[in-house]
Amino acid sequence: MNETLLAYKSDFAAKLLAAEPDAAPASLEPQYRQRFRIYRNNLYHGLGETLGEAYPVVRRLVGNEFFMATARAFIATHLPQEAILALYGEDFPAFLADFPPARTIPYLADMARLERARLEALHAADSLPLSPEALAVSQTEFAAATLLPHPAMRIIASSYPIASLWRLNQASEVQPRQLEAVAETVMITRPALTVQMHLLTSVEAAFIRALAGGKTVAESYVCASQPEAEFDITTAMRLILAAGAFMRCVVPAAKMQGHYS
């Protein structure tokens, strides 16, 4: 590879990322140094817009000017590691949680986590969700079965009414209304082409998380059965099927009783 070209690229890249707004490669003739800003603008504006499209409610909550300034701070330390930008900004929710100027909106980082989960669900692999027929097995078999999660399924738990806040911010004009200050846990799915959100009770979330983690239906039932909250597995299974949260039911092969005796 060519050392002169690599040195040119190193200098160009360093000046793109330099803190000084008028930085430019020293090798440029003076009349072109002014124009280097075009490339800096493209970099920050382009990635800022990419983040803005990925986090539209966050942008709306903080306003465009604040959002683009925050994006700039994020971009400087989180340059893309791959050529595809569809999923750029994975660390943006964590960045917001640690970004002091963003703390005036306490649920901002949770909103970012919700929007990130929706984005991942949007671009996840397509798969047919679990059908009710796939669950037509004996009770013993069902108890020992495991369910494979659908590639788009995500669960976001917040101590704020995060899904209600998200919905409130979809209208072109937000109608001020009283939201109940309750924690919400939301399951994101995409059984076909449209992303869906479903509110979960804490025990339903515990059940679905256990299933998605590979536990059997019986084990997951135990995880969800807590003395302080009632768990109804029939309702939970109905929700799982309606939302398309899982894609396959795996029933372990029946043991051949007495075969080895």
Partner 1 sequence: MEHQGEPAESAQRHAGVGLKLVHAAQIIAERPQIACFEVHAENFMVEGGPRLAALDSMRAQYPLSLHGVALSLGGAERLDREHLRRLKRLIGRYQPLVVSEHIAWSRHQDVHFPDLLPVPVNDAALRCLCSSIDEAQTVLGQRILIENPSNYLKLPQSDIPEQEFMVEAARRTGCGLLLDVNNVYVSSINLGFDAEGYLDSISADLIGEIHLAGHSRDAADSNLLIDDHGSAVPPPVWALYRRLIARTGPRLTIVEWDNNIPGWAELSAQADRAERAMLELRQSQIAA
Binding interface with partner 1 (CB under 8 A)? 1-2, 4-6, 8-10, 12-13, 16, 27-29, 32, 34-36, 38-39, 42-43, 46-47, 50, 79-87, 122-127, 151, 190, 193-194
CA 249 to chain centroid, in Å, comes to: 25
* Shortest distance, position 16 Cβ to partner 1, whole Å: 7
- Minimum CB distance to partner 1 smaller for 39 or for 140: 39
Does residue 58 sit in helix, strand or coil? helix
- What's the min distance (Å) between Cβ of 18 and partner 1? 14
d(CA 63, CA 49): 13
Question: Is the CB of 13 or the CB of 136 nearer to partner 1?
Answer: 13
Q: What six digits make up the tokens of 109?
A: 């980082």
As measured in angstroms, the least distance from the Cβ of 21 to partner 1 is 13
Is residue 70 within 8 A of residue 99, CB to CB? The reply is: yes
Q: Which is nearer to partner 1, 194 or 234 (CB)?
A: 194
Per the structure block, which two tokens stand in for 114? 């919700």
Q: Which two tokens stand for residue 54?
A: 């990925």
**Cα–Cα distance measured from residue 167 to residue 223, given in angstroms and rounded to the nearest whole number:** 30
Q: Smaller CB distance to partner 1: residue 85 or 233? A: 85
Judge contact between 224 and 206, C-beta under 8 A.
yes
**Of 205, 206, 189, 207, the residue nearest 244 (C-alpha):** 189
In the bound complex, what is the minimum distance in angstroms from residue 43's beta carbon to partner 1?
A: 6
Residue type at 132 in one-letter notation: P
* Least distance CB 161 / partner 1 (angstroms): 27
Q: How far apart are CA 130 and CA 153, in angstroms?
A: 12
Q: Which is nearer to partner 1, 83 or 181 (CB)?
A: 83
- Decide: helix, strand or coil at residue 226: strand
| Closest distance of CB 115 from partner 1, Å | 15
Q: In angstroms, what CA-CA distances link 81 with 38, 87, 88, 199, 221?
A: 22, 11, 9, 34, 41
For partner 1, which is the closer residue by CB, 3 or 180?
3
